[in-house]
């Protein structure tokens, strides 16, 4: 048994994999580390810290670029990884403990560093609801936040005003944020004035609502220099989303973050999977040359300082104006209360257009500023999450009975239509064309809000005997079967009512207020996001496609992002047309998240930020007509002429003039290029 496995069992985990997941361990590797260290100018730094060092990959990379290990500091909470780090970095100050603990930070030889380099742990908030472990305890989210706030008092790189503002930021980041967010804030506070912050971060930090606090911090205390993108998800083989590298220089605190000179920018570099080789992610950029990372960093510094761009088969480097970043932040923060506590007043500036779409809009001097879907009265969310699909979902047979094969082989029952509600569970349920109806949908979801097991009614008492109807006999057998079965992964099996997404269904009831109890098999009341007008699969191997949920009759699962309109700004048929346009395809290709294997993940957050061309009543009327034509098209092949008309209408609205054939062709090519790039390297490994 490996040391990691022994420690995991001793600390109360089912195995090494579970403990690594709780730690957020995705070790960087020295080859990627050399690239990040070179961009951060590690060879010119006199002190380097990694406060979440793992086995020391990033610091080893710095040593390979010439940094003396005696100038290094490291903190690591995992004793197995720490031992490896100590062996690889003789002379470095390596400390065992939780980096958010002020007592642990106090053991470092200094508390401001010329370079802070890290691959912060990516641990979802659900895993940090409470502390875990025994001798090597892993802190809860609350302990992390409290420790972070206490640590600010120790950091000499922050003056009194900085400390007060950092404290407000630490109080303000969302409880839904993963562990990386407080890690970024801590790392930033440890950077000396004039020093650099160099981080490995998941691509999602660019678009997640919970990361706006980090965006604000970077804009106010740093000059962002580089964001380097793993364009084809080739850098991490054991994680699920793309990563980026961030390098930023610490500057004196700005007075605010919403006003930048037009020429102030950072360099964004998209590195192709073709650039990766045996010795690192840019080893093929300069075939045959030693230290390709140093050459890459030298080129990047030249492009940054000269304001020039570069593009070839291996990479694209272009400047992103900070005014655009600030504008994006304003729009994202309009509904977030924390910003007002910092004496900042955001303005709803609408969505930010991806760089590639902006370049296409340069075709016209009359192009207008896009709006958001919310400005058109459209809301976006996620479909139904049951927490136990094998029980709550079933398959309808031709004879009308329900099959629960995933719950137990051969398990079937009958149920009236008010219990067995039509439900779209997965992409395999989707019909051809652009509409979903009960007639084309085989899935059912159990809606038992009006029914209870006889034994539960008896336990609830006479006062609530009339609150629910007795559950049909056949269905009661299925419910009891589910109640007696284990759910979850081997090693962490639970009863169905113990599952985190099922447990909230239970309510004790309040006799004094006449509120009846609710039982584990009763789903919450369905919201609009569960019965939307339209939906888009969240995971897309091809181009994202929208379907109309006719008359909102189908419940839509969380496998889909959902949209619904109050009908005030745009009709549902016009929205169907817009969402199936080349404009939307291009916008999502360059703003949604690329997963390992080349799939595009489209979340509600991406749809809320979707830039929508200015649509006047005439254009909306035209799109409504074309959307209805899509509904009539029973197969996608029959809709091609309609889709072209849609692209002409949307392109004309975006350009502020009548679109010509070349405009539409260029827009479609833009979407195709984005799709081709992410699909090209499907089999080159999964990314972080």
DSSP H/E element including 379: strand 378-382
Whether the CB-CB separation of 355 and 590 falls below 8 Å is answered with yes
Cβ neighbours of residue 126 closer than 8 Å, sequence gap 6 or more: 500
pTM of model > 0.85: no
Distance CA 189, CA 655 (A): 44
Distance CA 374, CA 331 (A): 12
CA dihedral (402, 407, 410, 411) in degrees, to 10, reads -50
Distance CA 174, CA 170 (A): 9
Averages of pLDDT over each 10 residues, the chain, 688 residues: 55 52 53 92 94 92 94 91 91 94 96 95 49 61 92 96 95 78 94 96 66 90 92 52 86 89 88 77 74 91 94 88 82 75 74 81 89 90 94 88 91 91 94 92 94 89 84 92 83 84 89 87 95 97 95 96 87 96 95 80 90 95 96 84 97 96 96 82 40
* Phi/psi at 155 (5° precision): -90, 110
Residue 617 has a pLDDT of: 95
CA Rg value for the chain: 27
Distance CA 549, CA 418 (A): 19
Residue 124 has a pLDDT of: 46
DSSP H/E element including 38: helix 30-39
Lookup: tokens for 519: 């039982």
Per DSSP, helices labelled H in 362-401 are: 389-392
Distance CA 425, CA 395 (A): 10
Sign of dihedral through CA atoms 358, 308, 234, 325?
A: negative
Query: 548: which strand partners?
Result: 435, 534
Whether the CB-CB separation of 530 and 555 falls below 8 Å is answered with yes
Between the CA of residue 590 and those of 212, 244, 246, 586, 616, what are the distances in Å? 19, 14, 18, 6, 26
Lookup: tokens for 11: 């600390």
The 3-class SS string of 402-456 reads EECCCCCCCCEECCCCCCEEEEECCHHHCCCCCEECHHHCCEEEECCCCEECHHH
Distance CA 239, CA 149 (A): 30
Distance CA 563, CA 608 (A): 10
Distance CA 244, CA 268 (A): 10
CA proximity to 120, closest of 52, 178, 166, 70: 52
Count CB atoms within 10 A of the CB of residue 471: 23
SS3 (DSSP) at 275: helix
* Phi/psi at 557 (5° precision): -75, 165
Sign of dihedral through CA atoms 389, 392, 397, 401?
A: positive
* Phi/psi at 223 (5° precision): -100, 110
Distance CA 148, CA 138 (A): 15
Distance CA 549, CA 422 (A): 11
Whether the CB-CB separation of 102 and 43 falls below 8 Å is answered with no
SS3 (DSSP) at 400: coil
Query: 270: which strand partners?
Result: 229, 316
Pairing of strands 555-556, 451-452: unpaired
Lookup: tokens for 204: 């999602």
Count CB atoms within 10 A of the CB of residue 355: 15
Place of tokens 């584990």: 520
Sign of dihedral through CA atoms 437, 563, 172, 121?
A: positive
Residues 522-556: b if buried by 16+ CB within 10 A, e if exposed: bbeeeeebbbbbbbbbbebeebbbbbbbbebebbb
Cα first-last separation, the chain: 27
Distance CA 373, CA 103 (A): 48
Distance CA 355, CA 343 (A): 30
Whether the CB-CB separation of 607 and 585 falls below 8 Å is answered with no
CA proximity to 100, closest of 175, 32, 151, 43: 151
Length of the chain (residues): 688
Distance CA 134, CA 35 (A): 37
Cβ neighbours of residue 261 closer than 8 Å, sequence gap 6 or more: none
Domains and CATH numbers, the chain: 3-349 (3.40.50.150), 374-383+531-680 (no CATH), 389-513 (no CATH)
Whether the CB-CB separation of 687 and 240 falls below 8 Å is answered with yes
Please compute, for residue 408, the number of CA atoms within 13 A of its CA located in the half-sphere on the CB side. 15
């Amino acid at each position: 048994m490996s040391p990691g496995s022994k420690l995991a069992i001793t600390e109360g985990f089912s195995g090494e994999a579970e403990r690594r997941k709780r730690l957020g361990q995705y070790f960087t590797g020295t080859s990627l580390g050399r690239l990040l260290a070179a961009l951060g100018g590690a060879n010119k730094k006199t002190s380097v810290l990694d406060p979440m060092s793992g086995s020391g990959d990033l610091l080893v990379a710095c040593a390979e670029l010439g940094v003396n290990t005696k100038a290094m500091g490291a903190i690591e909470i995992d004793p197995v990884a720490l031992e490896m780090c100590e062996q690889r970095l003789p002379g470095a100050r390596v400390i065992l403990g939780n980096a958010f603990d002020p007592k642990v930070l106090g053991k470092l030889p200094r508390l401001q560093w010329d370079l802070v380099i890290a691959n912060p742990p990516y641990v979802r908030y659900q895993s940090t609801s409470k502390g875990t472990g025994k001798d090597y305890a892993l802190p809860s989210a609350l302990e992390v936040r409290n420790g972070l706030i206490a640590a600010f008092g120790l950091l000499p790189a922050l003056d009194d005003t900085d400390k007060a503002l950092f404290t407000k930021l630490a109080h303000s980041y969302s409880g839904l944020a993963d562990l990386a967010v407080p890690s970024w804030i801590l790392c930033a506070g440890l950077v000396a004035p004039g020093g650099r912050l160099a981080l490995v971060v998941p691509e999602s930090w660019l678009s997640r609502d919970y990361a706006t606090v980090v965006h604000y911090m970077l804009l106010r205390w740093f000059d962002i220099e580089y964001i380097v993108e793993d364009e084809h998800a080739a850098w991490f083989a054991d994680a699920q989303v793309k990563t980026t590298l961030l390098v930023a220089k610490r500057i004196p605190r700005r007075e605010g973050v919403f006003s930048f000179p037009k020429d102030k920018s950072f360099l964004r570099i998209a590195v192709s999977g073709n650039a990766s080789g045996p010795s690192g992610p840019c080893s093929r950029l300069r075939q045959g040359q030693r230290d390709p990372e140093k050459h890459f960093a030298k080129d990047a510094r030249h492009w940054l300082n000269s304001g020039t761009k570069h593009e070839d088969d291996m990479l694209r480097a272009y400047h992103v104006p900070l005014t655009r970043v600030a504008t994006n932040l304003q729009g994202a923060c309009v509904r977030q209360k924390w910003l007002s506590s910092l004496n900042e007043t955001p303005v709803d500036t609408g969505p930010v257009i991806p760089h590639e779409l902006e370049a296409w809009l340069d075709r016209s001097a009359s192009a207008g500023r896009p709006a958001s879907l919310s400005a058109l009265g459209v809301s976006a969310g996620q479909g139904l999450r049951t927490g136990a699909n094998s029980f709550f979902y079933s398959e309808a047979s031709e004879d009308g009975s329900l099959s629960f094969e995933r719950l137990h082989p051969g398990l079937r029952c009958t149920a009236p239509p008010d219990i067995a509600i039509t439900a779209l569970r997965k992409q395999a349920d989707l019909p051809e064309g652009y509409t979903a109806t009960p007639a084309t949908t085989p899935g059912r979801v159990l809606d038992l809000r009006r029914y209870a097991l006889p034994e539960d009614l008896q336990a609830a008492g006479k006062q609530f005997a009339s609150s629910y109807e007795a559950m049909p006999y056949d269905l009661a057998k299925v419910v009891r079967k589910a109640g007696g079965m284990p759910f979850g992964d081997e090693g962490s099996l639970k009863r169905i009512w113990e599952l985190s997404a099922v447990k909230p269904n239970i309510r004790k009831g309040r006799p004094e207020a006449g509120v009846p109890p609710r039982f584990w098999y009763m789903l919450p009341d369905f919201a609009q996001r569960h019965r939307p007008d339209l939906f888009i699969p969240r995971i897309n191997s091809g181009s994202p496609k929208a379907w109309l949920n006719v008359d909102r009759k189908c419940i839509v699962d969380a496998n889909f992002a959902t949209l619904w309109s109050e009908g005030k700004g745009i009709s549902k048929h016009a929205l169907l047309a817009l969402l199936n346009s080349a404009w939307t395809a291009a916008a999502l290709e360059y703003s949604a998240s690329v997963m390992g294997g080349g799939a595009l993940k489209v979340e509600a957050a991406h749809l809320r930020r979707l830039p929508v061309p200015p649509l006047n009543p005439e254009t909306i009327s035209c799109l409504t007509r074309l959307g209805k034509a899509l509904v009539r098209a029973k197969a996608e092949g029959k809709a091609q002429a309609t889709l072209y008309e849609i692209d002409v209408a949307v392109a004309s609205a975006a350009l502020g003039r009548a679109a010509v054939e070349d405009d539409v062709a260029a827009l479609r090519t833009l979407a195709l290029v984005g799709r081709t790039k992410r699909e090209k390297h499907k089999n080159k490994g999964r990314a972080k």
